[in-house]
Amino acid sequence: MTDRARTPAENAELALLLEVAGTPKPGNVDRHRDLDDLRFEQFLAGSVGSAAGLRLAADGAPLGEAFERAVARMSRQSGGNTQFGCLLLLTPLVSAAAAGELGREAVRERCRATTVDDAVAFYRAFEHVDVALGDPPEGVDALDARRGSDAEPALRERGATLWDVMALSADPDEGTPDTNAAEWVEGFPRTFDAAESILADDGPVLDRAARSFLRQLAAEPDTLVATNHGASTAESVRERAASTLAAVERRGSLDPAEELADEFVEEEINPGTTADRVAAALFVALERGLTV
């Protein structure tokens, strides 16, 4: 049951706002914590700015075009990159929801149908903000996303669609897999599962968002942590999140997560990819009747 008092684009904007307002989300900006280079209000501004691209997605624009517009408008605040990964997940979800097709396979097919033009627009989006990226797989330096629009000739020569780019980034044989890219090529299984958990949870939505973050962080290593600190640190972060989740469930309180949040901020551990999926899961949950 969808609350059509809000459009899919409006629900996506709301999901971005709810994600950053949820607390504690260990290592990430929330309404109680800023980072040295990112502040809570910058995420609020990024959420509002991205709405123009989200509306494009809902209106049926190509996914690459809608994503680039969302990133460009998101970047119009003083913090730089606040929600690049969130928007990568939300764009196809909003597009599918607006067409009445918000299901795993339907979203996957929408992603599979992307074109080379979508890939080119995706690469252009990297010119709007700095994004933490690992090195590209050996032999495909020409497809390094950090090249931005300079990669267009290589993309067109290879006929690489946005789906192809995501599949390459998600391939575990090509280095540390990007779990946001994996969502694209696998039909968003983590996102939809997390949405069901949010709907099955109770209490204030912001507390549900915090618990969803902790559950997902405990389930698998965060891509951004692995990129910035290495695979062993990402696994250690996952283990610490799992231990904290057990304490949260045992005590029926988020207090243990507050302690972990302070530790991660001190250690400059930022599990941003996990936060991306919380935003996407909140969107799906809102589309499926989550009441705010």
Between CA 274 and CA 257 the distance in angstroms is 15
Residue 2 in any domain: the answer is no
Does residue 144 belong to any structural domain of this protein? yes
CB 169 within 8 A of CB 177: yes
Which CATH number covers residue 194?
A: 1.10.4200.10
Domain membership of residue 126 (yes or no) is: yes
pLDDT at site 2: 45
| DSSP 8-class letter at 142 | G
Question: For residue 84, which of 49, 14, 131, 38 has the smallest C-alpha distance?
Answer: 131
pLDDT of residue 66: 98
As a whole number of Å, the end-to-end CA separation of the chain is 14
Count of domains in the chain? 1
Q: Does any domain span residue 238? A: yes
pTM recorded for the entire structure: 0.95
Residue 180, in any domain of the structure: yes
Specify if 29 maps to a domain.
yes
User: What pLDDT, on the 0 to 100 scale, is given for residue 174?
Assistant: 62
pLDDT at 175: 64
pLDDT at residue 171, as a whole number: 84
The whole-angstrom separation of Cα 203 and Cα 150 is 48
Q: Are 156 and 249 in contact (CB under 8 A)?
A: no
Tell me the residue range of the domain where 223 lies: 8-287
Residue 3 within any structural domain of the chain? no
* Residues whose CB falls within 8 Å of the CB of residue 126, separated by 6 or more in sequence, listed in order: 145, 146, 148
Residue pLDDT tens, the chain, 292 long: 444 689 999 999 999 999 999 999 999 999 999 999 999 999 999 999 999 999 999 999 999 999 999 999 999 999 999 999 999 999 999 999 999 999 999 999 999 999 999 999 999 999 999 998 877 767 778 889 989 999 999 999 999 999 999 999 998 776 678 999 999 999 999 999 999 999 999 999 999 999 999 999 999 999 999 999 999 999 999 999 999 999 999 999 999 999 999 999 999 999 999 999 999 999 999 999 999 9
Residue 292 lies in a domain: no
CB atoms within 10 A of CB 17: 18
